[in-house]
Chains A and B, each alone.
Chain A
Amino acid sequence: MNIVIPIKQVPETSNVKMDEETGTMIREGVESIINPLDLYAIEVGIELKEEHGGKVTVITMGPQSAEKALREAIAMGCDDGILITGKEFKGSDTWATSFVLSSAIRKIGTYDLILAGERATDGDTGQVGPGIASFLNIPLSTYTSRIVEITDNTIIVERLIEDGYETLQMPLPCLLTVVKEISYPRLPTLRGKQKAKKVEIPVWSADDMDLDKSKIGLNGSPTRVVRISHPRIARGGTIVKATDEESLSRAIDKLINFLQEKNLI
């Protein structure tokens, strides 16, 4: 079973601190990591390989430094990495990114399954996974929470949707975007880390993939960011202390008043 996993390197934003004066993110000391939601896809890929054989290839489009993310995935147990980099890719939106990654997967050639995280924690769009499936014209399951069964040519999956779980059957090759429920990502092993250090990571440019330059980077991106603003989210509400029985009782009075005023109870 040959599996391809497109991943993204993102800033570690889960514990990000805000500058209270300016309302901007403090970027100092912010590390670049594998998109946390991609780890679940990587774990599923490695588990499937362990059970069915084959290999797992991770690919990413980004700056040269994104190579680190590929090596981290290899340290977890993936086999190969491919780095797609070059200034011509800069400014790619989800359309152009889907185009580039799907072209790279075409160039890889034979694959049975593509696994992707539900979305990246920085851009937060969740559009690239479905975009790749659409470009490749292969079946798609988004929000996949479980692989029920997989054979040489079909897969049965469950998807987590608004009010429950839906079961889909589709032929391979197909693309799944996965949610957290699907796996518990493992940590890199020492042996994996040693392998990751040594493995050679091919670097692909637009020319290596014969890409039409009008379809990549800013040129190939239908969307443009026109404005960035920093929302202030402080609401300046009432804060009361409940340190002993009396203040607790007063706090509850005030809370009940608040809820009644707002017609919430």
Chain B
Amino acid sequence: MSYREVWTIAEQCQGDIREVSYEILTRGRALADKLGVKLASVLIGYKVNKEKIEELIYRGADKVYLAEAQELENFIVENYGNVLIDLISQYKPEIIIAGATTSGRTLMPYVAVRVNAGLTADCTDLDIEEGTGNLLQTRPAIGGNILATIKTPNNRPQMATVRVKSTRPLPVDNKRTGEIIRINLKPGLIDGRVKRLGFRKTEEEAVNIQDADIIVAGGRGLKKKENFALIRDLAKRLGGVVGASRDAVDRGWISYPHQVGLSGKTVSPRLYIAVGISGSVQHLAGIKTAENIVAINIDPDAQIFKVSDFGIVGDLFDVVPAISERLSAIKGERNG
């Protein structure tokens, strides 16, 4: 059997399907159409909401391979890896795409070495090469200073993880039909060596900066930990979350999950406000896909202004309170 079909790896959490699963279907649909092959979503989990599974089809999938078992309720790479490897040997997809999430970036390399596949991390663009049908995978490298396009000429499948939030899900089309294929798990696929003992949600304010629409981030210009209150206040007014530069995190002003940049998280919000952040290359690489960037910095030569859509050169201790004040005035008008 030759290698056909494009696959995307859906992610679920306690039976609910994560948004990224639909985002990557958008990528997969475009590739499958170019190749003239079927698009399948692979869903591994337990007791997944039936309507959400159908939504995979409404948002682009032709098929869903569904592997459910109690032991698959949570992501354990050994178990998920074994199931995926078994599916690959059975159905032979030519392309597999996963979100560049913590589980996607764990599962894909784990599987790729076993099935002798080429794997490219954190792609921002995927396309099909004319003539050969090879997958062209483009990703930033060396601190985001270059874009490398990579292909896998001889090995199949071709595997890639793609940045979260780098595409939007296709609209729901209730008329789309597809097949849900329930996989009977072969014995021995559940590894059993690793046990998940528990999970605790991050206690501080919401710090899932990767999923945020609005991020207000602070850097060295804040001068001390207490001044992050200014950032928190502005973020709250805008309905956003708090981010930080590496400098601010390294100084212990705020915890690592807030860190934006190459050594932290890559973010793609609709609005990114950089306050007192000069804009090192490693920071800029992390915000490149933000839709709108606003910078506030006292140094007119700060690199951050080069990538800004709107910049204010000024003292953040004047500017930020003035913005907050104006926002509450606007809100007052609306409510009044």
Interface residues of A (CB under 8 A from B): 11, 13-16, 18, 24-25, 36-37, 93-95, 98-99, 121-131, 133-135, 139-143, 156, 159-171, 179-181, 221-231, 233-235, 237-243, 247-249, 251-252, 254-256, 258-259, 262, 264-265
Interface residues of B in 172-199 (CB under 8 A from A): 193-199
**Which residue of B is nearest A96, CB measured?**
B113
Q: Does any Cβ of A come within 8 Å of B323's Cβ?
A: yes
Top 7 A-B pairs ranked by shortest CB distance?
Answer: A242-B314, A222-B118, A127-B109, A125-B121, A237-B309, A222-B155, A130-B109
Residues of B within 8 Å of A259, CB to CB, are: 271, 294
Contact among B152, B197, B201, B327 for A168, CB-based, below 8 A: B197
User: What residues of A have a CB within 8 angstroms of the CB of B288 in the complex?
Assistant: 231, 233
CA distance A121 to B280 in the complex (A): 14
**Are B312 and A234 in contact (CB-based, < 8 A)?**
no
Q: How large is the interface on B (under 10, 10 to 19, 20 to 34, 35 or more residues)?
A: 35 or more
B65 close to A (CB within 8 Å): no
Most-contacted residue by chain B among A16, A95, A99 (CB, 10 A) = A95
Known interface pairs A95-B118, A134-B109; 18 further A-B residue pairs with C-beta atoms within 8 A, sorted by A's residue number: A11-B142, A13-B143, A95-B116, A127-B105, A134-B81, A139-B78, A140-B110, A163-B201, A222-B155, A225-B148, A230-B147, A238-B310, A241-B312, A242-B315, A242-B319, A252-B323, A254-B310, A255-B312
> Which of B102, B200, B281 is the one whose CB lies under 8 Å from A142?
B102
Q: Which of B77, B152, B312 contacts A222 (CB 8 A)?
A: B152
Q: Which of B33-41, B88-96, B221-229, B256-264 contacts A (4 or more CB under 8 A)?
A: B256-264
Is B284 close to A, CB under 8 A? yes
Q: Considering the complex, give the chain A residue whose CB is closest to the CB of B252.
A: A184
The residue on A at minimum CB distance from B270 is: A264
- B313–A241 CB distance below 8 A: yes
A226 touches B149 (CB 8 A): yes
Q: Known contacts being A95-B112, A251-B314, is A166 close to B199, with CB within 8 Å?
A: yes
Contacts known (A98-B109, A124-B262); A223 close to B330, Cβ less than 8 A: no
Contact yes or no, B152 A164, CB < 8 A: no
Residue ranges of B at the interface with A (Cβ–Cβ < 8 Å):
74, 76-78, 81, 101-103, 105-106, 108-114, 116-122, 136, 140-155, 193-202, 208, 210-211, 214, 238, 246, 249, 255-257, 259, 262-263, 270-271, 280-282, 284, 288, 291-294, 300, 305-315, 318-319, 322-323, 326-327, 330
Assess the B263–A258 pair: CB atoms within 8 A. Answer: no
In the bound complex, residues from chain A placing their C-beta under 8 Å from that of B323 are 252, 255
Q: Given A14, A94, A225, A235, which contacts B119 in the complex, CB threshold below 8 Å?
A: A94
On whether A233 and B284 interact (CB within 8 A), knowing A239-B311, A240-B312, the answer reads yes
Smallest distance from the beta carbon of A50 to chain B beta carbons, Å? 24
Cβ-defined contact, B197 with A228, below 8 A: no
- On whether the beta carbons of A169 and B195 are closer than 8 Å, the reply is yes
17 pairs from A and B in contact (CB 8 Å cutoff):
A37-B263, A94-B112, A126-B121, A164-B199, A166-B196, A166-B198, A168-B76, A226-B149, A231-B144, A239-B313, A240-B313, A241-B300, A241-B314, A242-B313, A256-B326, A264-B270, A265-B238
B335 CB to closest chain A CB, in angstroms? 14
A237 CA / B272 CA spacing, docked (Å): 14
Contact of B145 among A18, A130, A139 (CB under 8 A): A18
CA A262 – CA B116 in complex, angstroms?
Answer: 46
Contacts of A18 in B (CB 8 A): 145, 281
Chain A residue numbers with a CB within 8 Å of B140 are 124, 231
CA distance A24 to B141 in the complex (A): 12
Q: Is there an interface contact between B262 and A127, defined as CB atoms closer than 8 Å?
A: no
Q: Could you say which of A128, A133, A164, A242 contacts B202, with CB atoms under 8 Å apart?
A: A164
The answer for the CA separation of A196 and B255 in the assembled complex, in Å, is: 34
Residues of A within 8 A of B199 (CB): 164-167
Q: Quick check: A13 and B113 within 8 Å, CB to CB?
A: no
